[in-house]
Chains A and B, each alone.
Chain A
Amino acid sequence: MQVEPAQPCQFGSGGSLFGLYHAVAGRARAAVLLCPPLGQNMIRSHRVYRQLADALAQQGIAALRFDYFGTGDSAGASEESDWVRCVADTVTAAAELRARSGCTRLLGFGARLGGAIALEAAPAARLAELLLWDPVLDGHEYVTGLDAMQEELRVDPMRFSTPRTREDAAGQWLGFPVGAELRGQLEGWRAAPAAVPVRVFDSLPAEAGADRYAQLGTDAEVVALSSTASWDVLDRLEHAILAPDLVRAVVDQLRVAA
């Protein structure tokens, strides 16, 4: 199916949120809100999100990609990024997607922290079902991992000819300033059993544990992907995440279900 190129748009209060709407030819048979992760994962997964949205549009499924306040092309400085605002922006983006697509029933997709935000926003955004790719489910564990990687980055001989001071690297995670607010919000967050049907696309290394999605509830269905995404590997910090099997798996799923 021939689809129109994605249309950049600005929406939300004062047009502060940037998005790309992937329209379909004719009436959309479903619509998916693509919630990005934060920080470097957002930049690294940009290509996959575009590929996924294009693939969905070819199946007659409209999609909206967007940036939260303080991220990507949206208004706000990186240090203003805030968990509560991310959740609120997701609700705003859902309304935008409903208005543009004419679909009242929306599905949500999110990778890593984007999955966590989709989980949190699902009731208020009225997302009927969630498709989560390696979602973060334990904020404290995630914060601990980012702190460790930031320390590793500070002394990385491939990046800096001499190690940088702790002061130079403080208050940042892998290239992005982090406000105390966001840090605190993430540290205290842990996923609760999902309020809507959830399908998890899992490309984390096997050692992460087979039961890591148990806290989403017994109904959560897990699809194991053949490739392993290099989310938390410092050597890959500036490499795009490639996941052809993720795009295929999500599209296959929605071809049947949506």
Chain B
Amino acid sequence: MSTERAFRFGRAHHLVGVAGLPEPAAPTAPVGVIVLNAGMVHRVGPFRLHVEITRRLNASGYPTLRFDLSSLGDSSAADESRSQAQQVNADVADAMSLLASHSGCSRFVLLGLCSGAQNAHGAAIDEARVAGAIFLDGYAYRTLGFQLRHYLPRLWSAERWHRFISRSLQARASQGDDVFAVRFPPREQVQRELAAMLDRGLKLRFIYSGGVTRYFNHPRQFRECFGRLADRPQISARLFAGTDHTYALRVDRQRLLDDITTWLRDNFPVSGGSNP
């Protein structure tokens, strides 16, 4: 059993979030998990994904907080002159302080989908309290291998051509209209930042969905993108081919939840805890 508590919090009392706290008698988890907004969707996540993730993690003994960043969902603007990145980092710091005060955790894993993954990456660069991150459809870059896997099969398959063309036409029709559209920084920069995170001891999990085949289409691509960085033991990647970007089907969400829970248990085990 766990309990959820709703809070208004933050340096300007401007953020709204829901903390999930395992029973006080439960074994202490080494980390709390903070879930960031996916695109413009409020803290419950696409198709309530964030509610399902946080409740599953609470049942496994991890305290959680799903919350809205400044100006998203139910949170207000902080009325301060900072860049958007600085504001996100300050919001994440506020979220960690809140969860720390209610759970006793001093270190945290950030989890985000799409722009949430980007924000988690940005916050993890400098924040000492971050122990790890789970990036759902986070950074990756097209490689030669990607191009070959993407275009070669189309050469001989009429059905693939048909699907490719219809996807392209629909994408063109809704250009500039993608609610989850994000812009990636240069690969070298991301590679450098990830290396620095690993040097600080962070543990990182990248999970790609079948909804981002426009830039990631094979598990091998992770190494093609990031080179020897990908061989370090604290970093791993997985591709859920066939799913969509936001896990609209229950069966896909369950697979994702299983992966997240297993990764957390392997990397941040709850001491003396049972595995429900």
- A residues with a Cβ closer than 8 A to B are 5-10, 18, 20, 40, 43, 46-47, 50, 71-73, 75, 77-78, 153, 157-162, 164, 168-169, 171-172, 174-177, 235, 238-240
- B248 x A159 contact (CB < 8 A): yes
Within 8 A of A (CB), among B174-207: 174, 177, 179-180
Asked if B236 is at the interface of the complex by the 8 Å CB criterion, the answer is: no
Which of B39-47, B119-127, B140-148 lies at the interface with chain A? B39-47
- Check B5–A175 contact: CB distance below 8 A: no
Q: List 15 A-B contacts (CB under 8 A).
A: A5-B14, A8-B16, A8-B74, A18-B18, A43-B46, A46-B73, A77-B52, A157-B167, A157-B170, A160-B242, A161-B163, A175-B246, A175-B248, A177-B250, A240-B40
Residues in chain B near residue A238, CB distance under 8 A: 39, 41, 46, 179-180, 246
What separation, in Å, do the CA atoms of A45 and B179 have in the docked complex?
A: 15
Chain A hits for B106, CB < 8 A: none
> Are A168 and B163 in contact, with the CB atoms below 8 A?
no
**B interface vs A, CB < 8 Å?**
4-8, 13-14, 16, 18, 39-44, 46-48, 51-52, 73-74, 76, 163, 166-167, 170-171, 174, 177, 179-180, 210-211, 213, 241-246, 248-252
B213 touches A161 (CB 8 A): yes
9 nearest A-B pairs in the assembled complex, by CB-CB distance: A175-B47, A8-B6, A175-B248, A159-B244, A158-B170, A73-B18, A46-B42, A157-B163, A168-B251
Q: Chain A residues with Cβ under 8 A from B43's Cβ?
A: 73
Q: How far is the CA of A59 from the CA of B74 in the complex (A)?
A: 19
Q: B41 to A43, Cβ gap below 8 A?
A: yes
Residues of A within 8 A of B6 (CB): 8-10, 18, 73
C-alpha gap A171/B40 in the complex (Å) = 27
| Inter-subunit contact A8/B166 (CB<8 Å) | no
Contact (Cβ within 8 A) A73 B51:
yes
Counting chain A CB atoms within 10 Å of each CB, the highest count among B14, B167, B177, B244 belongs to B244
List A contacts of B41 (CB < 8 A): 43, 238
A159/B179 contact (C-beta < 8 A), A8-B8, A43-B42, A238-B246 known: no
Of chain B, the residue at the smallest CB distance from A39 is B47
Complex interface: chain B residues within 8 A of A73 (CB): 4, 6, 18, 43-44, 51
CB neighbours (8 Å) of B243 from chain A are 160
Closest to A44 in B: B41
Q: Chain B CB within 10 Å — which of A73, A75, A177 has the most?
A: A73
Contacts of A40 in B (CB 8 A): 47
The docked-state distance in angstroms from the alpha carbon of A172 to that of B241 is 21
Would you call B174 and A169 a contact (CB within 8 A)?
A: no
Note all chain B residues with C-beta closer than 8 A to A174: 248
Known: A18-B6, A43-B42. A168 touches B249 (CB 8 A): yes
Distance in Å from the Cβ of A57 to the closest Cβ of chain B? 13
* Given the contacts A5-B8, A239-B179, A175 and B18 also touching, CB distance less than 8 Å: no
B7 touching A8, Cβ below 8 Å:
yes
| A235, B173: Cα distance in complex, Å | 11
Q: Which of chain B's residues have a CB closer than 8 A to the CB of A162?
A: 242
Interface contact B211-A159, CB-CB below 8 Å: yes
State how many angstroms separate the Cβ of A130 from the closest Cβ of chain B.
25
Given contacts A158-B170, A169-B249, 5 further A-B contacts (CB under 8 A): A20-B16, A73-B6, A161-B163, A164-B249, A238-B39
Across the two chains, which residue of chain A brings its CB closest to B164? Answer: A157
Q: Which residue of A lies closest to B166 (CB)?
A: A157
How far does the alpha carbon of A7 sit from the alpha carbon of B16 in the complex, in Å? 9
CB distance from B34 to the nearest CB of A (A): 16
Given A43-B42, A72-B44: A161 and B242 within 8 A (CB)?
A: yes
B230: min CB distance to chain A, Å? 24
The smallest beta-carbon distance between B40 and chain A, in angstroms, is: 6
What's the least CB distance linking A249 to chain B, in Å?
Answer: 23
Could you say which of B13, B74, B171, B174 has the most chain A C-beta atoms within 10 Å of its C-beta?
B74
Q: In whole angstroms, what is the CA distance A71 to B6 when docked? A: 15
Return the chain B residue nearest A50 by Cβ. Answer: B74
